[in-house]
Amino acid sequence: MKNKTVVITGGASGIGLAMVNKFATEKWKVFFIDNNQAEGGKVEKELKEKGYSVTFLNCNITQAESVKSTFEAIPGKIDTLINNAGISHIGKVENTTEADFERLFQVNVKGSFLCIQAALPKLKQDGGGSILNMASVAATIGIPDRFAYSMTKGAMLTMTLSIARDYVVDGIRCNCLSPGRVHTPFVDGFIAKTYPGQEKEMFDKLAATQPIGRMGSPEEIAELAYFISSDTGGFITGSNYNIDGGFMGLKM
């Protein structure tokens, strides 16, 4: 898999950072996109010092011209695009503002659309490649107080199926992952902000919603992402993979 190129959005932290680390250690050329310039630069510096081919690209994925110029600046072809960047929101439809709705749609849906559109010419070079989208268990099951988030992740799932169908003739595979709860800095920050003084209790409660008894790790998500995106996953397209500690299969 040496000399393969991957582009990962939202690569400066959480699941995206775990993916950057995984692909880098597997000797891929990694380009990762994020709008956090300080963290992105730090990640790039640390990994380059270890001898890995990692390049940070500062880009606002909701802006078409920014996305277009960013992808044009990537030399050569792209073998894999991973649309990992995403944001969350807590609320039912009645307490989701228009601004909330638009903010999540812009990042989670439009951002992925723009990146796919910009990457397609490079993905088509030399016979195709792979697109991996980040959906969620919320795309296919009702999660309380996650209206806008679930809406966007449902869009990611159906976007995946449409692209897989349209571009299979071009040798382009498209799949998505649907994680359950994953222990990221976002989770810690949410708990600390929403339940001050009850952090451990609430962490344990959220972890227990997975039948396996814990949250997933970003590294576990990255391992599956790598398998699907590599040549080993070459027979996989149009598929949605739950990686959720049994949430979907054991609690229905």
**pLDDT at residue 21, as a whole number:** 98
pLDDT value at position 123?
96
Q: Which pLDDT value is given to residue 185?
A: 84
CA dihedral defined by 173, 178, 184, 187, rounded to 10 degrees?
150
Q: How many CB atoms lie within 10 A of CB 143?
A: 15
> Quick check: is 247 in a domain?
yes
Instruction: Place 78 in a pLDDT band, splitting at 50, 70 and 90.
Output: very high
Question: What's residue 126's pLDDT?
Answer: 83
Residue 238 has pLDDT above 70, yes or no: yes
Model pTM score = 0.95
Nearest-CA neighbor of 223 among 181, 188, 177? 177
Q: Known catalytic residue: 195?
A: no
Given a cut of 90, is residue 12 above it in pLDDT? yes
Structural domain includes residue 205? no
Residue 80, domain member (yes or no): yes
pLDDT number for residue 189: 85
d(C-alpha 204, C-alpha 227), whole Å? 30
Which tens digits make up the pLDDT trace of 205-234? 989 989 999 999 999 999 999 999 999 999
Average pLDDT, the chain: 95
The answer to whether position 207 is within a domain reads: no
What digits encode the pLDDT tens for the residues 18-28? 999 999 999 99
Residue 105 lies in a domain: yes
Q: Domain for residue 51, yes or no?
A: yes
| Dihedral over Cα of 14, 15, 16, 18: its sign | positive
**Would residue 199 count as lying in a domain?**
no
Mean pLDDT of all residues in 46-64: 98
pLDDT tens column, 140-198: 999 999 999 999 999 999 999 999 999 999 999 999 999 999 998 888 887 888 889 99
Phi, psi of 243 (to 5 degrees): -135, 85
Range of the domain at 104: 5-184+218-251
How many domains are there within the chain? 1
Among 52, 149, 167, 226, the one annotated catalytic? 149
Is the pLDDT reported for residue 2 higher than 80? no
Read off the CATH number of the domain in which 41 is found: 3.40.50.720
Give the per-residue pLDDT at 75.
95
Domain membership flag for residue 213 = no
184: its two tokens:
């990221």
211 touches 246 (CB < 8 A):
yes
Is 50's pLDDT higher than 90? yes
What is the residue-wise DSSP string for 106-140?
Answer: IIIIIHHHHHHHHHHHHHHGGG-EEEEEE--GGGT
Query: What pLDDT, on a 0 to 100 scale, did the predictor assign at position 251?
Result: 65
* Confidence check: pLDDT of 1 > 90: no
